Amino acid sequence: MALPKRIIKETERLMAEPVKGISAVPHEDNLRYFDVTIEGPEQSPYEGGVFKLELFLPDDYPMTPPKIRFLTKIYHPNIDRLGRICLDVLKGNWSPALQIRTILLSIQALLGAPNPDDPLANDVAQKWKEDQNAAIETARQWTREHAKP
């Protein structure tokens, strides 16, 4: 099936005007599948880390959101062990006016502002609430170990 114009345009724009700290490159054999990297935002426990993600645009994209998952291990209350992300815009709050670029920016923002009150990884969220400093330290350590640039 031919690739919709929208996906072609989005890909072109991602290549032509990349977002700082974010890259998304489509696979040559499947232009709906992207290799994504996101740099940890400054002033966050993820600073200095480069996180790998996979992104897939389903058949009825942009009517349904892209499917995204962290490949790099990350210690975050809204990201579980399998890399799945708890983010409203990836679920019910998706809108076809959003795009790959805005979604990746939202994920980067989520790294800068973890929300332990709406957790996906319960154990991490628990730690985050009980002892925030220790949790942040763990996140830093995981970033150093797993998210080497």
Partner 1 sequence: MNTVLCRSDAVDGTSTPCLPPPATPSYMVDHHVVEGIEERPALAPHTDTDARLLVRLIQCRQCSKPFSSPVTMPCGHTVCQRCLPAPQRRVNISYPQTLDHQLGILCPVCGQENSTADCNVDVTVSKIMALLVDYVSRWTAKHAEVVLTLEEVPQPPNDALISEKEMKGHVAQYGGGRLAGTFQMAVDGLLDYWADVAYSKSPGCEKDDLEDLDLDHFNSLRDAISTEMDCMVCYNTMLDPTTTPCGHTFCRHCLMRTLDHSIICPVCRRDVYLSPSLLYQPKNHCLASILDQVWPEVVAARKHTVSEEERPEGALDVPLFVCTLALPGMPCFLHIFEPRYRLMMRRCMEGNRKFGMLMYNQASTSQGDLGVTRFLEYGTLLHIVNFQLLPDGRSLVETVGVSRFRVIEHGMLDGYDVGRIERVDDISLGTEKRLEATEVGTAQSQAALYNAQHPPVPMTAANCPELLTTIELFQACKQYILDMRARSAPWLSERLVRAYGDCPDDPATFPYWFAAVLPIAEEQKYLLLRTTSVRERLKIVYMWIRRIEGQRLLLPRCGGYIGNILATCMGGFHASLTAFISTS
User: Any idea which residues carry the catalytic annotation?
Assistant: 86
Sheet order of strands, 22-26 included: 22-26, 33-39, 50-56, 67-70
In the complex with partner 1, the residue whose CB is nearer, 63 or 82, is: 63
Helix and strand numbers, DSSP H then E, in the chain:
4, 4
- Cα separation, 124 vs 3, in Å, equals 39
* Among the listed residues 43, 60, 82, 113, the single contact to partner 1 using CB under 8 A: 60
| Residue 16 touching partner 1 (CB under 8 A) | no
| Residue 102 touching partner 1 (CB under 8 A) | no
* Choices 5-13, 32-40, 109-117, 119-127; region in contact with partner 1 by CB under 8 A: 5-13
β-pairing verdict for 67-70 and 22-26: unpaired
- Cα separation, 41 vs 33, in Å, equals 24
CA 15 to chain centre: 18
| Residue 97 touching partner 1 (CB under 8 A) | yes
* Choices 27-35, 80-88, 90-98, 124-132; region in contact with partner 1 by CB under 8 A: 90-98
| Residue 96 touching partner 1 (CB under 8 A) | yes
- Residue 104 Cβ vs partner 1, minimum distance, rounded to whole Å: 17
Amino acid at 85: I
- Cα separation, 92 vs 26, in Å, equals 25
* Among the listed residues 27, 58, 130, 132, the single contact to partner 1 using CB under 8 A: 58
Report the interface residues with partner 1, using CB under 8 A: 1-2, 4-6, 9-10, 58-60, 62-64, 93, 95-97
